[in-house]
Structures are given as structure tokens and as C-alpha cells.
Structure 1
Amino acid sequence: MLRRLQLYSTRQSILALKISSLFSLLSCLSSHEYPINVFIYAGCSQEKSQPNSPFEGNLNSFLTSVVSSSSQMSYNSFALGNGSSTSPEGTIYGLYQCRGDLKIFDCSKCIESAANQIGLVCPYSFGASLQLEGCYVRYEHVDFLGKLDTSLTHTKCSKSVSNDVEFFRRRDDVLADLQGAIGFRVSSSGLVQGFAQCAGDLNPTDCASCLADAIGKLKNVCGSAAAADVFLAQCYARYWASGYYNSASDSSNEDQVGKTVAIIVGVLAAVAVLIVLLSVCRRTMG
């Protein structure tokens, strides 16, 4: 049975991002382009490995392989330490995947960021997943590859537009089109746009099942929202009104975690700058 990943908590938020990620995010706030390294969600298993254990060694190898592979392809899966000559406690299965419309260069940058962050968000965890705007990394101690998992991991819903009949007709057209995706698909109808994607380890039949479940949850959870995201363990579906996606204001509790991360890291960055300035002043006065 797969270990259930717990949603990333605010108590771990100090570890969520490197201070360098803050400056990358701030540099994008003045632009209309949505940065691909924006944090969406993370999940960590309760079970922990020991420092310097076989699992930790294989995890480091996995993350190194993920970064290296992402410079060549937008999806790959790995199995490390599962040979008969190795200790079972060191076994690790994992994958990474980039959003289907990203160029390889952007994919690689996103994966590098995700690989650097996942160990900070989920230190010593036997299982973890981390979703950024443009990419996804997941690993487990047990083999999950190719096995359908439609558990809900993250939702985000904007304000309601309950009286706009035309909008909902367009939205339903987009979602119906996205449900037929195999891998990654972008769709639009009038002012409504959306995209959906399955993890690369799913076969077409399981991908269709996952997307049907995601779209069903999207309608049930977000109702009449003008923009909505639903992420399941192995697929996601998203839609928005044109020009609205980057400014969607209402969100789920999980999204508030991301905001908390940014605030805390911002405070840490300010403290770090202040320490540097004080150090410079002290040397100057000395």
C-alpha cells in the first residue's frame, strides 16, 4: 500500500524555499508572465529515514539523475536500489515531469528548483511530492509507477461567476475537450482557457480515468468559480477566464500555505540583508 503523503504544513514553511527563490519570485511580480517556479503544493510521508542511510544515498542519486535527465527530456521515471544485491530499505522509485508546453531549457530550470526544494520541504521523508507551476517531482519507498492513484492533493478556486450562463457553457466545452487528453492538452472556447496533463507513467486508459475524476472534482469543489485548479496524485485539470488566471483571488487552504511560505522567506531574506549590512558597518567602524 502506498504511503499517504501529508499536506505540507506551515510549521515546515521556513524550509520550503531557498532565499534565492524569493528574489526570483519578486523579479517576476512586475511582469504579466506567470513564473514556472511558483510553489503550488507539497506532500511528505510521516515515515522518516535515518541520516547517512542507504535510502538517503539513493535519494541523492535520484535527485541528481532527475536534474541531469531534465536537460534532455521533459519526463522520466527511475527505480534505484531495487536489485537483489541491495538492501530493501534503500529502495526508491520516482519520477519528474514538466508541463507539456515548456521548452527543455525552462523544464530543466524548473526541475532543478524542485529538486533543490523537495529535500528542504520534506527532510528525510520516505516519500514526497512537490508541484511547482511548471513541473513536478515525486518519489516513494514503494513502487507506485504506472499504478492509478486519483487521491486529491490540491485545489484552488477563484471567486464565483454564478450568473454568467455563457461563461459556464464555454467552461464546460473546455473541460469536455480536456477530458480527452492523452498526456498534455490545451483548450479554449471564447474567453475560457484551460489545460490538463497526466503523469507520464499512466497508460491512456488510466489517464482518461484520472482526468474524468479530476474534472468531476473540479466542478464539485469549485462550483461556479471563474478559475479553478484541481491536482490529483497523477493528473490535473485547470481552467480560467481569459486574463483572469494570474489574478484569481480566492483559494483553498493549501494555497494559503504558499502565501505563508513567501511571507516567512521574505522576513528571512530581510534579516539576512540586515545581518550583512551590520557586519559591513562593524568592519568599517573597526
Structure 2
Amino acid sequence: MMMMMRRRNLEFYSSNKTLIPKLFFLLFFSSSSAFPIRSHLIIYAGCSNEKYQPNSQFESNFNSLLSSIASSSSQMTYNSFAIGNDSSNTIQLEGAIFGLYQCRGDLATIDCSKCIRNGVSQIHLACPFSYGATLQLEGCYVRYEHFDFLGKLDTSVKFKKCSASSSNDVEFFRRRDDVLADMQAGAGAGNGFRVSSSGLVQGFAQCLGDLSSQDCSSCLADCVGKLKSLCGSAAAADVFLGQCYARYWASGFYPNSSVSPSDDQAGKTVAIIIGVVAALAILVVLLSVCRRAMAS
């Protein structure tokens, strides 16, 4: 088995997936040094329609990938992997898997590792036996595919959320546009992550792992444009593209204290939904295996 860890030259390409929007909770902050988030909360998940067979080479490589991701996250906040992609070995190639993870730019390594390990444990449940899956949590991101998606450009919209409340205040729009412009320029020229604020408007943006400054700026320009066009005058908005995302909100719009009981209950609902979906998918796969065995 061959494994390569890549830290550079990564972009994002989306496969044909079924997106599973999850209940979305945000706990925002006024400074990057104190962000009381619950990083394990799910924003969205996407699962490929193709399923792999239990005890296959792909499953073995998949388990190795998740183990490598969990281990790597204790040392760095971003990494990518390729396992079983030796073109000279046909059997191994059938089980080839490519993956990556990334944490939000303001998370400490220890918090990143906790988030990634949580994501690794949940991706099984969100997309059981899937050849490809994407899981975006509040604080981190995990993706794997059967094909090599590393280095493929994708700026399509993966998820958006616009607040029900809106603003007609000219000053609000000026502040919002200042924040978005600063995030776009700052993330592109810096380390791919930028926190910004102007008056009562706050926000942050991030590009995927190793995008160049130029590509990061280009992705965020597209993201900011979509954010404005899709969410209009919303008081708060989030848009996630394949390679980057941008978010803004009016100060005080989101709670920044403890999570309310209703949030906890909603989180339990998400877990129940994932569990039911996982059980059904496993049942379908097992029935398929039994039918094949009876037919042979």
C-alpha cells in the first residue's frame, strides 16, 4: 500500500454527491482569540451515490485514511493523502482513496484535533459505505474520494445560509462591504484565513489548505459575489464554495454565550437523523450482499 502526504498544490473538486443539509448553529465572536464555538456541530454533509462492499480493499484503505487523518490532526491543521494509488497494481488501484482535512484558521492544534477526530467518527454515520463523502463541521472539514480530486478547481456552491432578518440601513451595507473586501484581500495575501470587523459588522473567511494567494483571492471574490447575490440584504449570511467560504453577521445577531437547551435538543435530533440514515444504508448493503450470495 502506498501513501503520500501532500501539503501543497491542493484545490477542491466535487463529485456527484447527495447533499445532506444539517441543522446549523453558529456561536460567533468579537475577537479571534476568544471564539466560544461548538466545533463539532455539522453544517452540511455530502455522500456519493456509489457504495463499496464490506471487507473490500477500498474499505481497508478507507480505514487507513481515517486513521492517518486523525493522527495527523494532532500535529497540523491541514493535510492531504493518497492511499493505494499505485498504477502498477490493479488490485490496489481498485481500492485507491484520496482525502484531506482542514481546520478553521483560528483553532489551536489541540482543538483542531478534537474537531477532526469528531468528524472522522461522524463521516461513517453520515455516509455509510460511500465511495466519496464530504463533511463540514463548524470548526473543521473532512473529505475523501475514490478518484483523485486533489488539484481540481471547483467554486460551485456547497452550502448557503441567509438570515431571515434583513437590513435596509445604508451604513450596515457599507460596513458589510468593507468587511467582505478586507476578508477577500487579507485571506488572499495572508495564510488563507482572515477575521475582520467594521462597526457592528463582523466576519471571517478561509480558503482551502494550499491555494496560492492568487487562487485564494479569486475563489473568495467568487464567494463574496455569490454571498451578496444569494443573500441580498440579510443581516447575517454564510456561503461555502468547494475551495473557500465567507461569513458575516451583525454584532449580537448570533448568541456568544452558552448554547440554549433548544440547540442541545436540535443537536440530538441531528444525531438521530444520522443514525437512522446510517442504519438504512447498512441494511441496503447487507441485503445486496445476501442476494448476491443466494444467486451464486
TM-score range (shorter-chain normalised) is 0.7 to 0.9
Closer, same or farther in 2 for the Cα pair 1:154/1:264, shift >3 Å? closer
Unaligned runs of 5+ in 1: 14-31, 248-257, 270-286
Calculate the TM-score normalised by the size of structure 1. 0.77
- The answer to whether residue 136 in structure 2 is matched with residue 131 in structure 1 is yes
Closer, same or farther in 2 for the Cα pair 1:34/1:224, shift >3 Å? same
**Match for residue 85 of structure 2?**
82
Q: Deviations over 1:211-240 (max 9, x none)?
A: 111111111111101110000111100001
Q: Distance in 1 between matches of 2:274 and 2:143?
A: 27
- Superposition map of 1:9-20 within 5 A: none
- SS of the equivalent of 2:52 reads coil
**Match for residue 58 of structure 2?**
55
- SS of the equivalent of 2:168 reads coil
How many residues were matched structurally?
239
**Match for residue 240 of structure 1?**
249
The answer to whether the Cα contact below 8 Å between 1:151 and 1:232 also exists between their aligned partners in 2 is: yes
- SS of the equivalent of 2:69 reads helix
Query: Percent same amino acid among aligned pairs?
Result: 65
Q: Deviations over 1:157-202 (max 9, x none)?
A: 1133332111110000000111121311111111111111111142
1:123 CA displacement: 0.7
- SS of the equivalent of 1:179 reads helix
Q: Distance in 2 between matches of 1:123 and 1:61?
A: 16
Give the AA of the match of 2:193: F
- Superposition map of 1:1-286 within 5 A: 3-8=15-20, 33-83=36-86, 84-85=88-89, 86-180=91-185, 181-182=187-188, 183-246=192-255, 262-263=268-269, 265=271
The answer to whether the Cα contact below 8 Å between 1:147 and 1:202 also exists between their aligned partners in 2 is: no
The answer to whether the Cα contact below 8 Å between 2:45 and 2:133 also exists between their aligned partners in 1 is: yes
Calculate the TM-score normalised by the size of structure 2. 0.75
- SS of the equivalent of 2:38 reads coil
The answer to whether the Cα contact below 8 Å between 1:128 and 1:139 also exists between their aligned partners in 2 is: yes
Bigger helix share: 1
Q: Distance in 2 between matches of 1:241 and 1:208?
A: 24
RMSD (CA atoms): 2.5
Q: Distance in 2 between matches of 1:268 and 1:89?
A: 28
- SS of the equivalent of 1:238 reads strand
Give the AA of the match of 2:38: P
Give the AA of the match of 1:231: F
Q: Distance in 1 between matches of 2:46 and 2:273?
A: 24
Q: Distance in 2 between matches of 1:155 and 1:266?
A: 23
Give the AA of the match of 1:4: N
